Homo-oligomer: A and B are copies of this chain.
Amino acid sequence: MNDSSLVPDEALPLGFRFAAVKAGIKPSGNADFAVAVADVSASAAAMFTGNRVVAAPIIVGRKHLARSAGHVRVVAVNAGNANCATGQIGIVACQRVCSAAAETFQCEGHEVFPSSTGIIGVPLPAEKPIAALPEVAASLGATPGHFAQFARAIMTTDTRPKVACASLKLDGRLVRIAGVCKGAGMIHPQLVPHATMLVYLFTDAAIEPSGLDTLLRQSAEVSFNRISIDGDTSTNDTVLLLASGASSVQVDSTNTSFLGALTEVCTSLAKQIVEDGEGVTHVVELRIEGAATDRDALTVAKAIAHSPLVKTAWAGCDPNWGRLMAAAGYSGATIDPERINIWFGEQQICKNGGRVANFDEAAAHAYLKQREFIVRLDLGIGNGKCRFWTTDLTAEYVRINADYST
């Protein structure tokens, strides 16, 4: 694969350089340590996992953002080890990496934002990324190829790098947004304002940290917080948005054009994560409508997205819509079974809680054979709605996650 074609020339936000090297953390020997450096201190906003067990880099990263008042010079990410459930030793290991990176890139320790992804419960070998810092410093660059290397180094069970770009003109000048992410399992982000999905977003707009935070929350809520592969919320999920200001275009939190472009990048990345989900053979867009509230719609979407019986039926291209009804029924949302209508694409399957009279099972089965399809469920109660992206559950998912050899 020609990685440098992932991102068009001229699409990268100004003011950032990227590098990735093999630090020896991944057993595969692939690149596993990625760094992004802002030429000058960038405004930063971040969101982290809602899991109450959080990894050391999240504890450290929060502290650093607080101390720097939302500014970041260096993002340092290792894959192959989550540095989670590693206690005080894990925190010290993380701090050592940050200190060494600060020295290499001549900034304050609290201007370094650390991330880790990989196995939980195994001490991070901090000496490996530290030893790799000189090579990182020597190989920094601002080309699409450098950005693609960053994207590849942060992968774990991902099968491909994931990037998205957008640009917009504001005040006659170009503002660029580029995002990169990883994640294929343990994917059900429940980001809280402060998510093993890692997402790094870069822009060359000039935005204050508080405005950046407002924009990030709105974009993440309708993208990363609307996907699930397996319903497991990670201990390491992180979304970081950096603004270099290098375009010299001022943007504030009320700029709907910028918010639109940012949300477009976030939604693209969120969908790419679902599409690359572990063992996935079907990607499903759920459209829940007619709920009492938007929250109820999301509750129903999550119950469906997390139902092993629904997900295995999808794996089999099985139009067993009764499993959708059952999941809606136990979701906890307000429902009236006799008002429920269900469509697979354009084909109505269920009307007022029962099978449609002209049910065409063969057509329904054929529709579900597509890799991507839409399931629409109208609860018939109110105006609450949501879109949500999820996957089937396959024997391959089980194989990937049950694979253990001693």
Assess the A322–B231 pair: CB atoms within 8 A: no
Taking CB atoms and an 8 Å cut-off, the chain A residues in 311-335 that contact chain B are 312-313, 315-318, 320-323, 325-330, 335
Q: Which of A13-21, A114-122, A147-155, A217-225 contacts B (4 or more CB under 8 A)?
A: A114-122
- Give residues in A with beta carbon < 8 Å to B: 50-54, 82, 84-87, 89-90, 119-123, 185-186, 190, 230-235, 306-309, 312-313, 315-318, 320-323, 325-330, 335, 337-338, 350, 352-355, 361-362, 365, 392-395, 397-404, 406
User: Which residues does chain B contribute within 8 Å of A312, judged by CB atoms?
Assistant: 397-398, 400-402
Please give the distance in Å from A320's CB to the nearest CB on chain B: 7
User: Which residues does chain B contribute within 8 Å of A397, judged by CB atoms?
Assistant: 308, 312, 398
User: Which residues does chain B contribute within 8 Å of A53, judged by CB atoms?
Assistant: 325-326, 328-330, 335, 337, 353
Assess the B50–A330 pair: CB atoms within 8 A: yes
Most B C-beta atoms less than 10 A away, residue of A235, A321, A361, A404 = A404
A3 vs B249: C-alpha distance in the bound complex, in angstroms? 80
Q: Contacts A51-B326, A398-B312: A87 and B354 contacting too (C-beta < 8 A)?
A: yes
User: Which residues does chain B contribute within 8 Å of A122, judged by CB atoms?
Assistant: 355
Assess the A401–B308 pair: CB atoms within 8 A: yes
Which among B82, B321, B326 is the interface contact of A186 at CB below 8 angstroms?
Answer: B326
Assess the B326–A403 pair: CB atoms within 8 A: no
Q: Contacts A307-B232, A320-B121: A353 and B406 contacting too (C-beta < 8 A)?
A: no
User: Which residues does chain B contribute within 8 Å of A123, judged by CB atoms?
Assistant: 355
User: Which residues does chain B contribute within 8 Å of A395, judged by CB atoms?
Assistant: 395, 398-399, 402
List 23 A-B residue pairs with CB atoms under 8 Å apart, sorted by A's residue number: A51-B326, A52-B328, A52-B330, A53-B328, A85-B325, A85-B337, A85-B354, A87-B353, A90-B354, A120-B325, A121-B350, A121-B354, A230-B308, A232-B308, A232-B326, A232-B327, A233-B330, A308-B393, A312-B400, A313-B402, A318-B402, A392-B402, A393-B398
